[in-house]
Amino acid sequence: MKILVVNAGSSSLKYQLIDMDNEQVIAKGLCDKIGLADSNIKHKAGDGREYAAEIAMPTHSEAFEALMYALAESDAKVISSPDEIGAIGHRVVHGGTYFNKSCLVDDDVAEKVDELKELAPLHNHPHYLGIVACTKTFGKDVPQVVVFDTAFHQTMPEKAYIFGLPYEYYEKYAVRRYGAHGTSHKYVSERCADLMGKDKKDLKIVTCHIGNGASITAVDGGICVDTSMGFTPLDGFIMGTRSGGVDPSALTYIANKENITPDQMSDLLNKKSGLLGISGVSSDNRDVSAAAAEGNHRAALANEIQRYQIAKFVGSYIAAMNGVDAIVFTAGIGENDPTLRTEVCKHFGYMGVKIDEEKNLIRGEEVEISTPDSTVKVFIIPTNEELAIAKDTLEIVTNLKK
């Protein structure tokens, strides 16, 4: 079955068409600047053919039409008719407490996705628009599935998700830890169990998704028991532009001193902090590391803080699970920065974690980077959220037909 995976953002629509018979990407692309004057599409077929065009896309609906043209009619077309698409899987950032697993889209599900825009203002409404645009093109004949970034974390116990705030805010506004990157944490923890040749139920794994956004999850027996992202994808440790956890009274102090509104503070914490805020150089790990190598103190400090904070989260999750069998690194930085992996793992030398520095340099593939005598296995596992979404979609659609 060919499955179209859709990731609709506020002004963009990313997609991949995946052939689930061999799990190969048939084509992928991006509709960008939706709602702006220079909206455009860039599309690439698996065999390298490309199609790019500036097309008016006032809404996600036109973006979806452009995507279908690219797939079925352009010079880089990969299907002869939209009928070849068996199902559509949507990435959805927030599932709130409604959704603890992926599910088939119906009117009620679509409305709940939209209702959750309160918890993910930048994401859930565009996801809803993506669903509406798909329905407009395909009618109800092609099943659509929603796959939530938060769903994998819904197994956390109360002690992990309730904040130390008056309980009424949890009751009134559902303010609690939800987590993020769940599709990635689930995918790499399951791949880790496969690579170890063990049942995930018998393993304690710490998964480190370190990209521009970053989070760490404790996966005990195949389920999430704690995760570093919180109510929104801001908690945890420093990221490209996000602060991670900060003493809340530092924020009220700065807000009073600088006369900053809550929205401005949110902007400061989400867009001006983290690697960018500390280094003053860039939010991009490569730029910060390059500046550090040239002797820039603040850039070196930003790198050091990120690695130190990651190690502290890994350590706390080993404590939370009372042990660990494997540590996994994934996403842009986790997969590509050997120094970060070495520096983080050094903190666990006391318990016998050892890295093979030659294997640690391998890129772009699944690799065990710990030495044979390491007490804990350490892996690089490239994440593949699109494939994970397509797999969930296939499973749900296949069960429908039974």
- Give catalytic residues, as residue numbers: 149
Is there a contact between 402 and 202 (Cβ–Cβ < 8 Å)? Answer: no
Residue 60: closest CA among 90, 82, 17: 90
Which lies closer to ligand AMP via its Cβ, residue 36 or residue 293? Answer: 293
* Closest distance to ligand AMP from the beta carbon of 335 (Å): 8
**Using CB under 6 A as the criterion, what x/- string covers residues 233-272 for binding ligand AMP?**
-------x--------------------------------
Q: How far is the CB of 17 from ligand AMP (least distance, A)?
A: 21
Residue among 126 and 211 whose Cβ is closer to ligand AMP? 211
Cα–Cα distance measured from residue 198 to residue 177, given in angstroms and rounded to the nearest whole number = 30
Residue with smaller CB distance to ligand AMP, 212 or 266: 212
**Please, what is the minimum distance in Å from the beta carbon of residue 358 to ligand AMP?**
17
Closest listed residue to residue 35, CA positions, set 55, 7, 14, 6: 55
E strands, 154-307, are 204-210, 214-220, 223-227
Minimal distance in Å, beta carbon 9 to ligand AMP?
14
Instruction: Determine the interface stretch with ligand AMP among 115-123, 264-272, 303-311, 331-339 (rule: CB under 6 A).
Output: 331-339
How many Cα atoms within 13 Å fall on the side-chain side of residue 312?
12
User: Among 220, 230, 227, which Cα is nearest to 189's?
Assistant: 220
Q: Does 61 bind ligand AMP (CB under 6 A)?
A: no
Residue 254: its H or E element? helix 248-258
Which neighbouring-strand residues pair with 343? none
Residue 316 found at the interface with ligand AMP (CB under 6 A): no
Pick between residue 9 and residue 143 the one whose CB is nearest to ligand AMP: 9
Among 95, 211, 236, 244, binds ligand AMP (CB under 6 A): 211
Least distance to ligand AMP from the beta carbon of 331, Å?
4
State in angstroms the smallest separation of the CB of 4 from ligand AMP: 22
Q: Considering only residues 284 through 313, tell me which ones interact with ligand AMP, judged by CB under 6 A.
A: 284-286
Bridge-partner residues for 355, per DSSP? 370
Number of residues that bind ligand AMP (CB under 6 A): 11
* Rounded least distance, CB 166 to ligand AMP, Å: 35
Of 189, 275, 266, whose CA–CA distance to 239 is shortest?
275
Alpha helices per DSSP H over 142-218: 158-161, 168-173, 182-196
Q: Does 332 bind ligand AMP (CB under 6 A)?
A: yes
Does residue 333 touch ligand AMP according to CB under 6 A? yes
Q: Which of 149, 220, 337, 386 binds ligand AMP (CB under 6 A)?
A: 337
Stretch that binds ligand AMP, among 2-10, 18-26, 41-49, 278-286 (CB under 6 A): 278-286
Q: 272 or 286, CB closer to ligand AMP?
A: 286
Which is nearer to ligand AMP, 74 or 309 (by Cβ)?
A: 309
* Type of residue numbered 401: K
Under rule CB under 6 A, residue 277 binds ligand AMP: no
The 10 Å Cβ neighbour count of residue 402 is 4
In this structure, what token pair is assigned to residue 80?
Answer: 């002869």
Q: Given the complex with ligand AMP, which of 135 and 212 has the nearer CB atom?
A: 212
Which of 212, 270, 296, 342 is the binder for ligand AMP (CB under 6 A)?
A: 212
- 256 burial via Cβ count (<10 Å: 0-12, 13-18, 19+): exposed
Name the 3-class secondary structure at 318.
helix
Buried b (16+ CB within 10 A) or exposed e, 94-121: bbbebbeebbebeeebbebbbebbebbe
Residue ranges in contact with ligand AMP by CB under 6 A: 211-212, 240, 284-286, 331-333, 336-337
